Amino acid sequence: MILASPALVGVTSFFLFVVSTAFIATILWTFIYLFSIREALKLPINWILSELINTGIFTIAYAIAFIAQLSLWGGVIGTNGKGANIAAGVFGIINCIAYGVGTYFLYIEWQSSNTQ
């Protein structure tokens, strides 16, 4: 987040929006597991499917955001913050891969919980 701040162009604003919302959602899911909220609430929610959908959406959003971020800042010549914004895009690639792997593992867990 800090590498792309402040958002100098609209694409970077979208990138920061994706990064910020994914960060907040990940913190919320961490607290759900840390404080065992899933077990404490007796709600008929398929928690694995909910997390799978959430993670899948952020995987796609990160893919769009890092492509847009790198395509814009890769062509800019001699602007302050170019290196930091390109580094932010590279970290976006890493986050996209991490969310993609998480989506895959959640899909496997969801499939195994549905077949029982």
pLDDT value of residue 116 = 54
Q: Is residue 4 part of a domain?
A: no
- The average pLDDT across 74-99 equals 89
Q: Where do we find the tokens 């607290």?
A: 31
Count of structural domains, the chain: 1
- The average pLDDT across 81-89 equals 91
Domain housing 52: 10-114
Q: Give the whole-angstrom CA distance, residue 20 versus residue 1.
A: 7
- The average pLDDT across 92-106 equals 97
Q: Is residue 3 part of a domain?
A: no
- pTM (2 d.p.): 0.88
Q: Is residue 38 part of a domain?
A: yes
pLDDT value of residue 92 = 96
32-99-33 Cα angle (round to 5): 10
Q: Is residue 97 part of a domain?
A: yes
Q: Is residue 53 part of a domain?
A: yes
Residue 111 scores a pLDDT above 90: yes
Q: Is 11 exposed, middle or buried (0-12, 13-18, 19+ CB in 10 A)?
A: buried
Q: Please name which of 63, 67, 100, 99 lies closest in space to residue 86, comparing C-alpha atoms.
A: 67
For 26-79, what is each residue's pLDDT tens digit?
999 999 999 988 888 888 888 899 999 999 999 999 999 999 999 998 887 777
